[in-house]
């Protein structure tokens, strides 16, 4: 049994609100008529209060003369409750469980050449349910004060999302330092939090429709009346996803609006994602050598969806090298020198093989002398397929090659990138 701190009187003990009184009366009646027994060892008391204190030294609870422990956390049906009403420890616990399952999946897939859609399906089927466990309760408490402008950052910072992004990087074969926005963009993967929001709203609707005599329903109406954090957060999700419609109207028709709300949340996420990858780089010099890591990526990435090359390139090593080049998670000097002390400006990060040329993605694909043989093979094949290709300006050629919208072009470019990276590795 739990008591909210607003019902604790400092001087005279504990007062319960109406619902707790009904609950306590039912439990007491059950004990008296012999239909309910209390295990003194298993029974614990948790006092909910905003600072999250246990109050173990301040109050005493007894059953038949036996003192009942006041605890600062309690695991019920796999969810860890805390006196503060937050679910940080529950998230840590689920994250740990999901990480164990994810590592097992990593081992299973490490030597397999599984397709990207199949790998993502395995994640969604095997790991997703662990991360989403009890999300209808946990998620709204993790995104308090949700606003449209904060949605992207709040969703990205949820601990459970880190498990998904780690798996996405594993599937793409890119290092952990790869930019999250680019990884999500390549796969067209939305944060798990969007589906969790829909779970929470479905739960809210179920509570609304419950018979008014049930304890759960009374408790729900109490939280509505007091505007408690879980209900308030659910309302925030509704407000940002149904702008211009009065909250009571949405709550009344919630059952028919899950699809619309999900699409709106996805739209808000994609809008901010687009702003992130298109962020203007800082001007060169004065220590602003870093710029926007995705300054090349945003030239050919326009749509938030799984890239075609991830489906048509079968060999995972080829796929991985092409992906690294596209999202700037490669080992070219332009990237390697980002992490050294006194890092030089982008245009001063020269190629080892062509000392006067910055070692950029463009240089690697169209200029570097180290790759010229592989490049010639690639360009000959592309020229055969598109006779006009040779007449295009170099920067347009670069974009066309990196877009990889055509299956055959994707395979040819992937092969070039893989062979060129290998050739550089051997040469250095």
Tell me whether residue 183 or residue 368 sits nearer to Zn ion (CB atom): 368
Tell me whether residue 59 or residue 350 sits nearer to Zn ion (CB atom): 350
Q: Name the segment binding Zn ion (CB under 5 A); options: 30-38, 109-117, 271-279, 353-361.
A: 353-361
Tell me whether residue 8 or residue 333 sits nearer to Zn ion (CB atom): 333
Rounded distance between C-alpha atoms, residue 158 and residue 90, angstroms: 12
**354 lies in the site for Zn ion, by CB under 5 A:** yes
> Min. distance of Cβ 424 from Zn ion in angstroms?
9
Q: Compute the Cα dihedral for 56, 57, 61, 62 and give only its sign.
A: positive
Burial bucket for residue 72 (CB in 10 Å: 0-12, 13-18, 19+): middle
Q: Name the segment binding Zn ion (CB under 5 A); options: 120-128, 188-196, 319-327, 354-362.
A: 354-362
Q: Record the tokens describing residue 369, joined without a space.
A: 């002398």
Element (H, E) at 130: helix 128-131
Q: Give the CA distances from residue 160 to residues 87, 152, 191, 281, in Å, rounded to whole numbers and listed in that order.
A: 12, 15, 10, 30
Tell me whether residue 122 or residue 354 sits nearer to Zn ion (CB atom): 354
Residues numbered 186 to 215 that lie near Zn ion (CB under 5 A) are none
Task: Please give the size of the binding site for Zn ion, defined by CB under 5 A.
Answer: 4
> Min. distance of Cβ 349 from Zn ion in angstroms?
11
Q: Give the CA distances from residue 50 to residues 4, 19, 88, 235, 337, in Å, rounded to whole numbers and listed in that order.
A: 9, 20, 14, 21, 47
Closest C-alpha among 345, 374, 349, 367 to residue 359: 349
> Min. distance of Cβ 351 from Zn ion in angstroms?
3
Q: Name the segment binding Zn ion (CB under 5 A); options: 2-10, 40-48, 277-285, 360-368.
A: 360-368
Question: Crossing angle of helices 88-109/135-142, nearest 10°?
Answer: 110
Of positions 368, 378, 382, 404, contacts Zn ion by CB under 5 A: 368
Residues numbered 314 to 343 that lie near Zn ion (CB under 5 A) are none
Tell me whether residue 128 or residue 358 sits nearer to Zn ion (CB atom): 358
Burial bucket for residue 28 (CB in 10 Å: 0-12, 13-18, 19+): exposed
Rounded distance between C-alpha atoms, residue 395 and residue 414, angstroms: 19
> Min. distance of Cβ 331 from Zn ion in angstroms?
13
Q: Name the segment binding Zn ion (CB under 5 A); options: 82-90, 124-132, 246-254, 363-371.
A: 363-371
> Min. distance of Cβ 125 from Zn ion in angstroms?
44
Q: Name the segment binding Zn ion (CB under 5 A); options: 23-31, 278-286, 289-297, 347-355.
A: 347-355
Tell me whether residue 278 or residue 331 sits nearer to Zn ion (CB atom): 331
**353 lies in the site for Zn ion, by CB under 5 A:** yes
* Three-state SS at 67: strand
- The dihedral region occupied by 145, where left means phi > 0, alpha psi between -120 and 50, and beta the remainder, is left
* Three-state SS at 143: coil
Tell me whether residue 187 or residue 325 sits nearer to Zn ion (CB atom): 325
Catalog residues that contact Zn ion under the rule CB under 5 A.
Answer: 351, 353-354, 368
């Amino acid at each position: 049994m739990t008591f909210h701190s607003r019902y604790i009187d400092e001087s005279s003990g504990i007062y319960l609100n109406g619902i707790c009184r009904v609950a306590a009366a039912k439990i007491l009646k059950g004990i008296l008529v012999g239909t309910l027994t209390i295990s003194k060892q298993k029974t614990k008391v948790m006092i909910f209060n905003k600072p999250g204190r246990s109050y173990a030294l301040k109050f005493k609870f007894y059953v038949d003369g036996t003192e009942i422990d006041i605890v600062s956390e309690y695991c019920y049906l796999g969810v860890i409750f805390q006196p503060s009403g937050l679910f940080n420890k529950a998230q840590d616990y689920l994250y740990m469980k999901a990480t164990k399952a994810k590592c097992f999946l990593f081992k299973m897939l490490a030597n397999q050449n599984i397709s990207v859609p199949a790998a993502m399906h395995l994640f969604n089927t095997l790991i997703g349910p662990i991360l989403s466990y009890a999300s209808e309760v946990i998620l709204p408490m993790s995104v308090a004060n949700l606003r449209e402008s904060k949605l992207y950052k709040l969703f990205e910072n949820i601990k459970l999302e880190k498990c998904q992004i780690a798996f996405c990087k594993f599937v793409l074969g890119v290092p952990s330092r790869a930019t999250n926005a680019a990884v999500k963009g390549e796969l067209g993967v939305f944060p798990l939090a969007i589906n969790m929001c829909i779970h929470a709203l479905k739960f809210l609707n179920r509570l609304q429709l419950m018979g008014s005599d049930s304890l759960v329903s009374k408790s729900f109406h109490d939280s509505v009346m007091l505007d408690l954090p879980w209900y308030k957060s659910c309302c925030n999700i509704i407000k940002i996803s149904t702008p211009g419609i009065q909250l009571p109207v949405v709550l009344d028709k919630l059952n028919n609006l899950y699809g619309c709300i999900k699409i709106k949340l996805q739209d808000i996420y994609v809008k901010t994602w687009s702003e992130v990858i298109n962020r203007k780089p800082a001007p060169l010099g004065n220590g602003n050598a870093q710029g926007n890591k995705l300054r090349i990526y945003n030239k050919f990435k326009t749509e938030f969806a799984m890239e075609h090359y991830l489906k048509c390139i079968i060999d995972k090593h080829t796929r991985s090298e092409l992906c690294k080049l596209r999202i700037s998670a490669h080992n070219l000097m332009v990237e390697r020198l980002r992490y050294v002390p006194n890092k030089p400006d982008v245009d001063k990060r020269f190629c080892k093989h062509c000392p006067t040329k910055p070692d950029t993605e463009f240089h690697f694909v169209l200029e570097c002398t180290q790759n010229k043989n592989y490049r010639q093979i690639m360009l000959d094949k592309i020229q055969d397929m598109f006779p006009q290709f040779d007449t295009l300006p170099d920067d347009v050629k670069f974009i066309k090659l990196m877009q990889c919208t055509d299956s055959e072009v994707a395979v040819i470019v992937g092969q070039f990138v893989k062979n060129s990276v290998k050739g550089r590795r051997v040469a250095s």
